[in-house]
A = this chain, B = another copy of it.
């Protein structure tokens, strides 16, 4: 692992409400971690090779807590449908195609390439129920250099025949997947991925709960996305006081050091919010997806006030693209509409808060990740905003805001994950 220094306008979230800026500062990378941000380069780092990025912004890499790799193929289509319709008409038929490894290679190749080119450095990724295609996706993600968690999906009920696993098969394939990839990757981890309660029988959920206990693997799934879906779960698990309690009943809802992330959480009961907090479960807030599928707007202000851990997800393809900058802007925007339209909603999110969610907030799911501060793993992106033409000078905060609202992958000049250069251009 090389040691080096990046020079540029450094910005990171110190707290949820506060940026830390070091204009024309020095970001030192030692052994894959930040050794700090400095206005003047300390003597002890003077021998490290230095890349001077001039007036560019240097930001922590972005974190996507929820994205479906197989759905990337149809991103930006099928937007006139609600969740359960959309699953049946768009998502499931596409996912069936990943039984074909040639198709998977082409589709996942596009996904991996675009993820690599984006500002994202870490992601929690759903694959499909297919073991082999999931391994292929992991191979491709490993090759990008990003730090990802990838899950073979479990689903043995309430889905098309072509996607439905047998109950035993679902658990056996999961175990075989874990055996096959053991030791294969440096930066790609498996994550247990029951699709959601409606698609997983009690037996599969119990089996995954056991597997989690034995392996200590992290867990990702969906929670309280849509009111119809939540009502369905109440029917399926009448013994659970809330949707989250159903996961908890199977041992798949955080607590005892278990890292769990639940996408959406748009319609929590008060009990569910308390449980999210008590069990340290991360919420993957997916504002654009929740808009596109008419799900609603998650109560993020309330989650933050209550101490629930929150990050951002793009949820491709219910969200139309892989940009976490866009997810930050979307998070601010929907929070404003919720503030305006929903009875008793808290005040809108600020730029500072949205940036925090997309970096340090979600980064905590990966460990010491999502910041340029000393001790954090050195994930960084260099953003050149000169292409966003402007007549006058802007403050650094204004430049960052423009990057959040207006930038695309073409503005990313370089990206690093754990101190490793992903690309420079």
Contact = CB atoms under 8 A, between A and B. Distances in A.
Interface in A61-101: 73-80, 97
Count of identical protomers in the assembly: 2
Given A402-B75, A406-B76, A406-B320, A337 B291 contact: yes
A76 B388 contact: yes
Chain A: interface size category = 35 or more
Interface in A315-366: 320-321, 329, 332-334, 336-342, 348, 350-351
B77 A402 contact: yes
Interface stretch (A30-38, A133-141, A157-165, A391-399): A391-399
B337 A297 contact: yes
A372 B292 CA distance: 29
A258 interface: no
Contacts of A419: none
Interface stretch (A41-49, A106-114, A189-197, A244-252): A106-114
A288 B334 CA distance: 11
A110 B389 contact: yes
Nearest to A332: B79
Nearest to A394: B77
Nearest to A343: B341
B388 A336 contact: no
A401 to B, nearest CB: 5
A11 B409 CA distance: 29
Contacts of A113: 389
A375 interface: no
A348 B392 CA distance: 40
Most buried by B among A79, A321, A339, A342: A79
Contact of A341 (B106, B342, B408): B342
A390 interface: yes
Nearest to A348: B294
A405 interface: yes
A68 B424 CA distance: 37
A296 interface: yes
Given A388-B76, A390-B73, A398-B77, A336 B406 contact: no
Given A351-B80, A389-B110, A390-B73, A294 B340 contact: yes
Nearest 3 pairs of A and B residues by beta carbon: A76-B402, A76-B405, A107-B391
Given A79-B401, A288-B333, A294-B339, 6 more contacts: A73-B391, A79-B332, A296-B337, A297-B337, A321-B405, A337-B341
10 contacts: A73-B392, A80-B351, A107-B391, A291-B336, A294-B340, A297-B337, A337-B337, A341-B342, A408-B408, A410-B410
